[in-house]
């Protein structure tokens, strides 16, 4: 974590030396604190979290935040997401220098942090693992898939779910690293599942295909309650709508906090902090395009599925437009945020 703290004193007024001025409260300017969660030399297309939550005001005033991206490399389209909140996100999309500035205000005095330069580089070795029906964007150095994608057509299979997780994905190129073990994460810390990115149930057309989802390249540490709860609910929506029209599914994980990295020694993988999923399909009859996106923390006690719906535009700000991979989606659809998750057909049997 990289931390900058700057405080500016509020100006006080002078009085007539010949008289006693009335007593007035002195407002102290807030103290701004800017923390970079993660590496200050981030990789292209890797979300970088900027945290101002440690900022303080001696008077107890309510603080407001204003982040600004004051410089970016030529050709970059990067923007700051959540620029008016204590926690902003920058996703560098081109290698080079990015300069950000934070202003914290209490409504009277102001505290300003000088621009901070972040240098984005090429990052780890990324490869595409093509399993025919689905693809994984895989980080050879971090031993994790970062994105997955596939299209669901009418469900025609019901292959049995395997019971064994495996190393040695045959699609891994030479020199590309993988997890150290296929053992359960729960054997290291209770409450964690071997969470699928591409769901087994979406790939049950044959025994061979469903087995490919059990390679550890498709598996990450996931909170059990989340994996078996809201994440499964989102997967079921895709499964049920595939029989109405083809569904384009994409999703992935974001790593932005080291505090929960419990499995580095045992498995050689960090713990994802966020999971995201997008579904794109068409309305039966009209053929109009529909899209929905969710962004979930990898946590317990999450509540309702609808609480995690976001627009694609918001998701791109948090994850990166290149990583989301929906560049051909119309701008108005990217701004759309459904008020509720799609209702599955009453006759759906997601088996």
- Active-site positions read 196
Residue in 158, 196, 182 with CA at minimum distance from that of residue 275: 196
Contact criterion met (CB below 8 Å) for 170 and 216: no
Residues in the chain: 351
CA atoms within 13 A on the CB side of 20: 1
Please report, to the nearest 10 degrees, the dihedral formed by the alpha carbons of residues 161, 166, 172, 174 taken in order. -160
Q: Tokens 């580095």, residue?
A: 264
CA distances to 245, 278, 286, 317, 320 from 332, rounded to whole Å, are 21, 16, 18, 16, 18
Strand (E) or helix (H) holding 225: helix 224-227
15 has which bridge partners?
none
CA distances to 127, 168, 169 from 174, rounded to whole Å, are 11, 11, 11
Contact criterion met (CB below 8 Å) for 270 and 264: yes
Tokens of 289: 């395009």
CA distances to 236, 304, 335, 343 from 301, rounded to whole Å, are 20, 9, 28, 23
- The reply to whether 39 sits in an annotated binding site is no
Query: What does the DSSP 8-state code read for residue 339?
Result: S
Helices (H), 37-173: none
Distance CA 274, CA 293 (A): 13
Contact criterion met (CB below 8 Å) for 298 and 275: yes
For the annotated binding site for Mg(2+), the residues are: 227
Binding residues: 227
């Amino acid at each position: 974590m990289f931390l900058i703290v700057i405080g500016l004193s509020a100006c006080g007024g002078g009085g007539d030396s010949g008289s006693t001025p009335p007593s007035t409260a002195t407002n102290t300017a807030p103290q701004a604190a800017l923390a970079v969660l993660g590496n200050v030399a981030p990789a292209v297309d890797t979300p970088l979290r900027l945290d101002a939550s440690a900022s303080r005001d001696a008077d107890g005033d309510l603080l407001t935040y204003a982040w600004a991206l004051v410089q970016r490399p030529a050709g970059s389209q990067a923007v700051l997401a959540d620029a008016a909140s204590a926690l902003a996100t920058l996703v560098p999309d081109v290698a080079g220098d990015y300069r950000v500035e934070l202003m914290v205000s209490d409504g009277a005095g102001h505290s300003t942090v000088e621009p901070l330069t972040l240098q984005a580089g090429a990052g780890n070795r990324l490869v595409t693992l093509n399993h025919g029906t689905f693809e994984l964007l895989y980080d050879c150095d971090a031993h994790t898939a970062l994105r997955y994608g596939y299209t669901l057509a009418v469900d025609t299979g019901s292959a049995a779910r395997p019971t064994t997780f495996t190393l040695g994905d045959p699609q891994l190129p030479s020199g590309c690293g993988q997890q150290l073990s296929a053992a359960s994460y729960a054997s290291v810390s209770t409450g964690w599942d071997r969470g699928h990115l591409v769901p087994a149930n979406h790939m049950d057309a044959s025994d061979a295909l469903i087995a490919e989802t059990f390679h550890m390249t498709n598996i990450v540490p996931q909170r059990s309650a989340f994996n078996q709860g809201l994440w499964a609910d989102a997967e079921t929506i895709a499964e049920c709508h595939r029989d109405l029209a083809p569904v384009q599914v994409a999703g992935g994980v974001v790593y932005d906090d080291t505090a929960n990295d419990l499995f580095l020694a045992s498995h050689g993988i960090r713990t994802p902090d966020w999971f995201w999923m997008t579904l794109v399909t068409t309305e039966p009859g009209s053929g109009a395009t529909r899209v929905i996106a969710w962004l979930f923390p990898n946590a317990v006690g999450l509540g309702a599925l609808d609480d995690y719906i976001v627009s694609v535009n918001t998701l791109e700000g948090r994850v990166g437009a290149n990583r989301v991979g929906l560049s051909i989606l119309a701008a108005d659809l990217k701004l759309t945020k459904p008020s509720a998750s799609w209702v599955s057909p009453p006759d759906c049997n997601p088996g």
